[in-house]
Each structure stands twice: as C-alpha cells, then as structure tokens.
Amino acid sequence: MRDHDSLYHRLFTNPRMVAELLREFVPGPWLNNLDLDAMTRENANLQAETGERRDGDMIWRIPGRDGGDTYLVLLLEFQSASDRWMALRMLVYAGLLWQHLLKQGRLPPDGKLPPILPVVLYNGDPRWAAPLALHDLVGLPEDSPLWPWQPAMRYQIVDEGAFADDDLARREALVALLFRLENSPDPEQLVTLVDAVLAWFRRHQGFEDTMAVFAGLLGALLAPGVRVPEELSEVRNMLATRAETWKRQWLQEGELKGRLEGGAALLVRQLESRFGVLPDWARDRIAAADSAALETWGLRLLKAESLDDVLA
C-alpha cells in the first residue's frame, strides 16, 4: 500500500486539489475570506525531534483577502482505524508551527500568532470515531474550576467513506470523484467513474500532472506491484478488460458457493434423518467442507452405522 499512499499524498501537493478539498468538504462562510488560489506550501518538517512526522503531513500558507495569513495543517491518515489522540497531535503540531514562525521572525506586524486551520483527511474503512476536540480527552468533570487553564484544540475531520455516493456524485469536484473511486468495490462502476474523471480533466485545464498521478493511483488499486500504463485513458481500458474477467470469476465463484451450500444442506438433512439432530462440531465441519469432502461423506452415508463413520 506504500505506492498507493505515496501517490495519494502527491495528489494533495497540488494547491488546486487542496483548494477543492476545502471548498467542498470544510464548511464555513469564513472560507470566503481566504484566497485559496494563492496558497503556498510550507516546510512540514516540524516533528523531526519527536519522530512522529509522516509523509501525510502538510502545511499550506493561505493569504487572507483582508491581509494576514492562515496556516492549513493537513494530515492525510492512511491508517485502518481512528487515532484517538489526534486532537493532541494537532495541538503539538500547532505549537511547533507557531514556534517555528516565531523563530523565523514571520509573525504579522501586530506580533500575534497567525490562525491555524487543522484538517484531517481520512480514507480508512471504519468510520472515524475519535474525539474531535481536546476537551474530550482531558480527565476533568464539566464543572471543574480547572477548565480555564486547559489548552483547547479542535480539528476538522474529512472522512471520505462517510459521504454517500449520491452526495459525492452531485459535486463538480475532482476530489469528490477521488473519494468515489477509493470507495467503489464494483469494477464496472470503476470504469464509469474513470470515464467521469477523464471527462473532468477535459473540462478543466492545467491538471496534466494530476492526471498522471490519478493514473498511477488507479494502477496501484488495480494491480499492486505491477507496472501499468502512464496514460489515464490506457489505464481505463486495462480496467475495463479486467472488470469483465473479475465479473466472470465472481459469477463462477458464486455458482460454486451455491453448489457447495446446496450440497452441504442436503448432507445435513440426510444425516439428521439417519442419526438425529447433528452436534455443532459436525455442522461446522460440513459448512467448511469442499465439494470433494461432501461427495466422500455422501458415499460413506450409504453404509455408515454412525455419524463418526461418515465424518471420521
């Protein structure tokens, strides 16, 4: 999965992809006060001393339309589960970023710390369930007088698997198509989605590098470790061919599964007619058996005097 994660990260090194992500999935009218088209990427190597920095950590400086800067801290989470301590990680990151800006003499003229927008983009299978605010991680009762002295931090989660497909389909954004591709288990639907991606690129100029990354990302999903074409249209054709193969395999597997389940059910009925209700261990063995075992046991049943004679 390292190839997939690296390519996914490359998509969000494009400022236009990041701008799309914010416009589509980070709500708030205050976003209109930020000049997303003028954002620039900053050095994210702030956690080297703790050893916690990963390739999914990015910082973007976004100028305000009325002056001043806002710093987007964007973390791409490729883990298969929520990070319970994400709010704490964000607090540490914010502190390190502010400290970095202070040391470089990059504070605004008023000498105050610039605002930070913390966003986590998560593409794991289980839905994100970690607390979004540091408040929920601090062991204090709600009426404690110590709350005014506790640090505060909250982050925005974008859990791409939490959006319904029809919701994503209504959005005219490449990021929405990316989420749909990542969450589509159906090869035939994948072909349709890749056609939609190709149509999107035809309507939007200046994304040539991003198109190449999409091709690599689809290749990583389609055939991990296998060299795939660099052209997205060629990957689409490769996917269409494989989709037909997968469909035939699934039909064959479905037919085989149906025959096995039917044969197992028949054997259970025959055994119970001879020996009474079957114990759990016998049912488990029959349910896990292949067609050869079911056939062997069916033949043994003709002369068997006990259950053990059949399943021994």
Domain-located, residue 228: no
What does the pLDDT read at residue 250?
Answer: 46
How far apart, in whole angstroms, are the C-alpha atoms of residue 134 and residue 237?
Answer: 47
Whether 17 maps to a domain, the answer reads: yes
269 burial type by CB count under 10 A (0-12 exposed, 13-18 middle, 19+ buried):
exposed
Helix axes 174-183, 208-222, angle to 10 degrees: 10
Backbone torsions φ then ψ of 76, nearest 5 degrees: -100, 115
What does pLDDT average to over the chain?
83
> Between 291-300 and 232-275, two packed helices, what is the crossing angle to 10 degrees?
10
pLDDT tier for residue 140 given thresholds of 50, 70 and 90: very high
* Residue that has been written with the tokens 């999935």 in this structure: 25
More confident of the two residues 52 and 181:
181
Asked if 6 and 154 sit in the same domain, the reply is: yes
In whole angstroms, give the CA distance from residue 94 to residue 152. 11
Residues 18 and 144 in one domain: yes
Where is pLDDT greater, at 248 or 14?
Answer: 14
User: According to the model, what pLDDT value does residue 62 have?
Assistant: 97
pLDDT in tens, 175-221: 999 998 888 766 667 778 888 888 898 888 878 788 888 877 776 66
Is the model's pLDDT at 129 over the cut of 80?
Answer: yes
Q: Domain limits at 65?
A: 2-162
User: Percentage of the chain with pLDDT > 90?
Assistant: 41
If pLDDT is split at 50, 70 and 90, which confidence band does 95 have?
Answer: very high
Binned at pLDDT 50, 70 and 90, residue 168 comes out as very high
CA–CA distances in Å: residue 56 to residues 4, 5, 128, 184, 231: 12, 8, 17, 23, 25
pLDDT of residue 312: 74
In a domain, 218, yes or no: no
| Percent with pLDDT over 70 in the chain | 81
- The domain tally of the chain equals 2
Residue 57: φ, ψ to 5°: -95, 125
